[in-house]
C-alpha cells in the first residue's frame, strides 16, 4: 500500500477511466487532486466517494495555462507535495476532415496534447522533489485508426512522443510513462444521467484474444504499478492495454 502522505494529481477524473483511477489511488492510500471541467460529474464524484480530506476536486480546464497553474497551486496548498501526475483528460471530435473546423481541431489538440504538456510543466518542480512519476494516457489510436479520427489520433500519437521526450528531459528525478488503452468500456462509469449498463456481443468479445472488452480497472491497476517503486527502472515506455486487439488480424 502506498504511503498515505503521497499525492496523485489526476485529470479527467470525474468519469470513465479517470474516475476509476481516482477510486483506486484513494483505495491505495493516496491523497488525490482531481481535475475535471464537468461540474455535475465533479459534484457526484465528491458526494459519492466520501473521501473526506483525502480528495480535492477542481473544475480545471487543462487547455488553459492559467487554469492549470491555479489547480496545481491549490493542490499543493492542500496536500503539500505531488508524487504522481496522471494526464488522463481527453476529448474527441470525430468528423470527416473536410468537415472538421480548425476550431474543433485546436480544441482537441488543446485538451489532449497541450493539457498534458501544461500539467507536466507545472508539476515538474514538485515531482522533482519527490522523485515522482508522470503517467500519460494515450490510446491505441496512436498506432491504428478508424475513419474520421484525425484530431484525436494525432493527439494520442503526440502524447506517446511527448512521453519519451519528457522521460529524457526530466530523468532521472522523474519517471515518465504512457498507457495506451484499447476498447475500455466506460458507459457504466459515467455521471448518473449518462450511465448505461454495458452490453457486449460475442463478436465484440471475440475481437480480443483476451476474450473480453476491457474495464477501467485494467488501466488503473497498471497505473498503480507504474507509480510504485516496483517500476523504478521503467521510464519512457508506452504500454498498450487492449486485450491483444491490435495484434489480431480481423477479416470480414
Q: Could you read off the pLDDT of 124-180 as tens digits, one per residue?
A: 999 999 999 999 999 999 999 999 999 999 999 999 999 999 999 999 999 999 999
| Better pLDDT: 96 or 249 | 96
Residue where the block lists cell 484474444: 209
- Return the biggest CA–CA distance within the chain: 55
**CATH number of this structure's domain 7-196+215-243:** 3.40.50.720
Q: Are 246 and 207 in contact (CB under 8 A)?
A: no
CA distances for 76 relative to 31, 55, 56, 61, 159, angstroms: 11, 13, 11, 18, 25
- Indicate the pLDDT class of residue 3, thresholds 50, 70 and 90: very low
The mean per-residue pLDDT over the stretch 187-202 comes to: 94
Catalytically active residues are 152
- Indicate the pLDDT class of residue 252, thresholds 50, 70 and 90: low
Return mean pLDDT, the chain. 96
Answer yes or no: is pLDDT of 4 > 60.
no
- Indicate the pLDDT class of residue 50, thresholds 50, 70 and 90: confident
Interior angle at CA 165, CA 71 and CA 102, nearest 5: 65
The mean per-residue pLDDT over the stretch 185-195 comes to: 95
Here the cell at position 55 is: 480528495
Which are the contacts of 116, defined by CB distance < 8 A and separation ≥ 6?
A: 62, 87, 136, 159, 162
pTM: 0.95
Q: What is the pLDDT of residue 2?
A: 42
Q: How far apart are CA 182 and CA 200, in angstroms?
A: 15
Amino acid at each position: 500500500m502506498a504511503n498515505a502522505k503521497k499525492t496523485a494529481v489526476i485529470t479527467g477524473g470525474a468519469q470513465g477511466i479517470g474516475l476509476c483511477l481516482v477510486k483506486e489511488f484513494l483505495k491505495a492510500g493516496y491523497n488525490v487532486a482531481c481535475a475535471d471541467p464537468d461540474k455535475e460529474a465533479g459534484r457526484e464524484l465528491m458526494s459519492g466517494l466520501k473521501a473526506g480530506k483525502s480528495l480535492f476536486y477542481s473544475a480545471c480546464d487543462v487547455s488553459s495555462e492559467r487554469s492549470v497553474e491555479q489547480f496545481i497551486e491549490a493542490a499543493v496548498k492542500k496536500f503539500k507535495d505531488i508524487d504522481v501526475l496522471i494526464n488522463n483528460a481527453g476529448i474527441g471530435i470525430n468528423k470527416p476532415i473536410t468537415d472538421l473546423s480548425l476550431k474543433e481541431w485546436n480544441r482537441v489538440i488543446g485538451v489532449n496534447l497541450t493539457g498534458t504538456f501544461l500539467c507536466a510543466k507545472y508539476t515538474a518542480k514538485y515531482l522533482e522533489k519527490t522523485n515522482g512519476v508522470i503517467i500519460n494516457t494515450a490510446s491505441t489510436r496512436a498506432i491504428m485508426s478508424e475513419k474520421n479520427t484525425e484530431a484525436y489520433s494525432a493527439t494520442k500519437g503526440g502524447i506517446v512522443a511527448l512521453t519519451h521526450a519528457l522521460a529524457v528531459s526530466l530523468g532521472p528525478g522523474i519517471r515518465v510513462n504512457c498507457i495506451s488503452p484499447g476498447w475500455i468500456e466506460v458507459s457504466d462509469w459515467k455521471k448518473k444521467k449518462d450511465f448505461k449498463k454495458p452490453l457486449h456481443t460475442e463478436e465484440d468479445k471475440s475481437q480480443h484474444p483476451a476474450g473480453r472488452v476491457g474495464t477501467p480497472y485494467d488501466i488503473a491497476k497498471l497505473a498503480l504499478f507504474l507509480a510504485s517503486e516496483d517500476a523504478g527502472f521503467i521510464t519512457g515506455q508506452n504500454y498498450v492495454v487492449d486485450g491483444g486487439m491490435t495484434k489480431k488480424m480481423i477479416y470480414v
